[in-house]
């Protein structure tokens, strides 16, 4: 609860900063009137009060009809996302300017310097520069605001428009009999208000159409309510793969009730849940080991040491029950990717993970450059990473957290071929 209250506080502070800067901007125009302070405040109050009533009074299981989502919810989502983005840009700009503001303030404490600075400010060339700077800032403000609101709207409308990625991964000493084995990866489903049973059924159909040998789901089956797992089991009940469907629990599954979630998955779905366990598969006379470790309640940016203990214990169990363990290809399902540096030192050929959502909202993405919160806390954000002959694939996932918005980061189903 403390984490969510912190997020709410940050969002409100960012919006307060946006309001404050917008009023300051209006005061520089000839149209400003004192009453504007109250007029501008109206949308901040209306959108926030309505959003928090829907979220916390009705509850996270509030599931209105589609027409009400479009008319009654989507505008609030857009407002929250856009104002947060604008607030972050303004804060970043203020941080960049702060050293210069501080130096200027210190210099103004020295009377002769202050007098000289005032003289310089009155020079025509300086005034022209200041006028041009204000025009540029005004244009930039409108551009950032337009991008924020249009991007949030587009990201919300397209938040379930998934892409199917294909990836070949070379496994060291992979037996000829296992070459061409296909694995479909789907993660971070987050069943709930933003991921309905109908939404999940579309993904389930897509999984079956890919006709892979193995399906892996490394965690976060639900978002905030344990009972939403029942919608998942109904939507995914007919999902199948030749050599099995495997899953592990993520931190959101632990936020709610991991035992309730696990029981529903095990009893009512085709997913074989690996709770710090391994499964050995015989394919064309050759063995493949699937290992699965659970996550914890931690929502932080570091891999909990307990999870590394799970990995080592599960590896040791698999090793104890296998001859020629080192020669058997091994695939690990681990919800968070943060510990890949350590995992790469172990006898695991391929790790599949999720959790990051690829950033979910990525204002700027050029090539491998990803400007998002996820990029601030981890170098493993999405896609394939290789250290030596060990590999990590991080899925962008299909669900959304916070708001049903994805920007420059579409939901992902991944078909991996081992070569």
Higher pLDDT, 318 or 133: 318
pLDDT per position as a tens digit, 218-231:
999 998 889 999 99
Most confident of 22-26, 304-308, 352-356, 400-404: 352-356
Quote the pTM value: 0.82
Residue 340 near residue 308 (C-beta atoms within 8 A): no
pLDDT at 292 over 60: yes
260 in the same domain as 398: yes
Residue 133's domain comprises 2-157
The answer on 120 and 257 residing in a single domain is no
Which of residues 115, 139, 157 is at a domain's end?
157
Which pLDDT does position 62 carry in this prediction? Answer: 59
Residue with tokens 């009533």: 53
Indicate whether 69 pLDDT > 70. no
Q: What is the mean pLDDT of residues 264-289?
A: 95
The answer to whether residues 143 and 206 belong to one domain is no
Helices (H), 211-337: 229-235, 251-256, 258-268, 305-320
CATH number of the domain within which 342 lies: 3.60.21.10
Q: What is the pLDDT of residue 7?
A: 65
Q: Is the pLDDT of residue 115 over 80?
A: yes
Answer yes or no: is pLDDT of 3 > 60.
no
Among the residue ranges 44-58, 101-115, 170-184, 290-304, the one predicted with the least confidence is: 44-58
* Range 236-253 average pLDDT: 96
**323 plus 368 within the same structural domain:** yes
Domain boundary among the residues 157, 192, 207 is at 157
Tell me what pLDDT residue 166 has.
Answer: 96
- Name beta bridge partners: 290: 279, 331
What mean pLDDT do residues 86-105 have?
84
Q: How confident is the model at residue 65 (pLDDT cuts 50, 70, 90)?
A: low
Tokens 């790790």 correspond to what residue? 351
Mean residue pLDDT across the chain: 87
The CA distance from 235 to 221, in Å, is 12
| Cβ atoms of residues 231 and 196 within 8 Å | yes
- Among the three residues 157, 188, 209, which one is the final residue of a domain in this structure? 157
**What pLDDT sits at residue 344?**
94
High-pLDDT (> 90) share of the chain, %: 47
pLDDT at 9: 78
Q: Indicate the range of 59-68, 76-85, 400-409 predicted with least confidence.
A: 59-68
Going by pLDDT thresholds of 50, 70 and 90, the confidence category of residue 121 is confident
The predicted model gives 382-400 an average pLDDT of 95
Q: Encode burial over 154-177: b for 16+ CB neighbours within 10 A, e otherwise.
A: ebbeebbebeebeeebebeebbee
Measured in Å, how far apart are the chain's first and last C-alpha atoms? 45
User: What mean pLDDT do residues 302-316 have?
Assistant: 87
The pLDDT score that the predictor gives to residue 67 is: 65
Pairing relationship of beta strands 182-185 and 412-418 according to DSSP bridges: antiparallel
Structural domains in the chain (count): 2
pLDDT digits (tens, 9 = 90+) for 323-332: 888 899 999 9
| Of 252, 194, 257, nearest in space to 219 by CA | 252
Average pLDDT over residues 60-88: 74
Element of type H or E holding 278? strand 277-283
Are 308 and 327 in a shared domain? Answer: yes
């Amino acid at each position: 609860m403390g984490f969510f209250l912190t997020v709410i506080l940050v969002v409100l502070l960012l919006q307060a900063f946006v309001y404050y800067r917008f009023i300051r901007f209006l005061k520089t125009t000839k149209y400003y009137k004192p009453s504007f302070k109250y007029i501008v405040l109206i949308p901040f109050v209306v959108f926030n009060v309505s959003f928090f009533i829907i979220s916390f009074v009705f509850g996270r299981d509030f599931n209105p009809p589609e027409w009400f989502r479009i008319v009654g919810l989507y505008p609030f989502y857009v407002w929250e996302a856009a104002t947060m983005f604008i607030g972050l840009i303004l804060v970043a700009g203020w941080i960049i300017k702060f050293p210069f503001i501080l130096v200027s303030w210190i210099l103004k404490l020295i009377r002769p310097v202050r007098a000289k600075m005032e003289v310089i400010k009155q020079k025509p060339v300086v005034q022209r520069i200041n006028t041009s700077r204000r025009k540029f800032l005004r244009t930039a403000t409108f551009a950032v605001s337009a991008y924020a609101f249009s991007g949030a709207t587009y990201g919300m409308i397209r938040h379930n428009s998934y892409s199917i990625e294909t990836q070949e991964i070379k496994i060291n000493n992979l037996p000829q009999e296992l070459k061409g084995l296909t694995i479909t990866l789907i993660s971070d489903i987050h069943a709930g208000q933003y991921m309905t049973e109908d939404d999940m059924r579309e993904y389930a159909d897509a999984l079956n159409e890919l006709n892979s040998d193995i399906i892996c789901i490394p965690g976060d089956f639900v978002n905030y309510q344990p009972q939403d797992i029942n919608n998942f089991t109904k939507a995914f009940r007919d999902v199948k793969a030749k050599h099995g469907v495997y899953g592990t629990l993520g931190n959101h599954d632990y936020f709610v009730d991991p035992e309730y979630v696990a029981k529903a998955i095990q009893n009512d779905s085709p997913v074989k849940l690996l709770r710090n366990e391994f499964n050995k598969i015989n394919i064309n006379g050759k063995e493949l080991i699937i290992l699965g470790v659970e996550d914890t309640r931690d929502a932080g940016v570091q891999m909990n040491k307990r999870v590394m203990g799970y990995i080592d214990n599960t590896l040791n169990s698999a090793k104890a029950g296998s001859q020629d363990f080192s020669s058997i290809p091994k695939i690990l399902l681990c919800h968070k990717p943060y510990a890949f540096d350590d995992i790469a030192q172990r006898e695991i050929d391929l790790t599949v993970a999720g959790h990051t959502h690829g950033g979910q909202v990525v204002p700027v993405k050029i090539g491998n450059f990803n400007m998002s919160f996820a990029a601030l806390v981890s170098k493993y954000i999405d896609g394939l990473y290789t250290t030596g002959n060990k590999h990590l694939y991080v899925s962008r996932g299909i669900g959304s957290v916070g708001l049903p918005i994805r920007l420059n980061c579409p939901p992902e189903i991944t078909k991996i071929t081992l070569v």
